[in-house]
Amino acid sequence: MDNAQAKKVILEFLRRHTLAVIATSHADGKPEAAVIDFSVRDNLEIVFDTFEQTRKFENLSDRRSVALVVGWDKNITVQYEGDAMKVSASDVQEYRRRILKAFRSRESLSRRAPCCLRSFLAGYDIPISPKTLSNV
C-alpha cells in the first residue's frame, strides 16, 4: 500500500468514528486519559474541543504532547502521537463552521496535527510522517 492509498484508508476509517481516547500528562508526570469527540480534516489533522475547566485543558496548556487512539472494533485502531495547539481566535469560526458543525458549541477548541501517525488497518502497520502526507 503506497502513501496515497494509506492516507485514503486512514481518512475513511477516521471519518467513520466520532470518539477517541486522548492521553495527556499532569504536571506531576502522571498520565491522564479521557474520551473526546473529534473531527478530522482532509490533511488528517484531528480537531477536538474541551471545556477550560477540564484536566485535559489544564494539561495541554502546559504540556502539549498527546496521544490519541481511535477505533477498537475488530481490533482495528489508528494511533496518533504529537503536539496539541489551541486554535487561534481568528480561526475558531472557520473550524466551527467547516468541521464542528455537528458538535454543540463549547468554550474552547483545540486542534493538533500529528507528528506521528501509526495505523493498524487490515493487518498493515503504516508509519506515516505529516511531511509525507502533505506531499500526497
Q: What's the per-residue H, E or C state across 27-95?
A: CCCCEEEEEEEEEECCCCCEEEEECCCCHHHHHHHHCCEEEEEECCHHHCEEEEEEEEEECCHHHHHHH
64-106: pLDDT as tens digits = 889 999 998 888 889 988 888 887 778 777 777 655 554 554 4
- At residue 30, φ and ψ (nearest 5 deg) are -70, 135
In DSSP terms, which residues pair with 39 in a beta bridge? Answer: 47
Rounded Cα–Cα distance for residues 77 and 121 (Å): 7
Rounded Cα–Cα distance for residues 112 and 74 (Å): 27
Residues composing the chain: 136
Kindly provide the b/e burial profile for residues 6-23, where b requires at least 16 CB atoms within 10 angstroms of the residue's own CB.
bbebbbebbeeeeebebb
- Flag whether pLDDT at 14 surpasses 60: yes
pLDDT (0 to 100) of residue 82: 86
Mean of the per-residue pLDDT values of the chain: 76
- Among 78, 56, 58, 59, residue whose Cα is nearest residue 68: 78
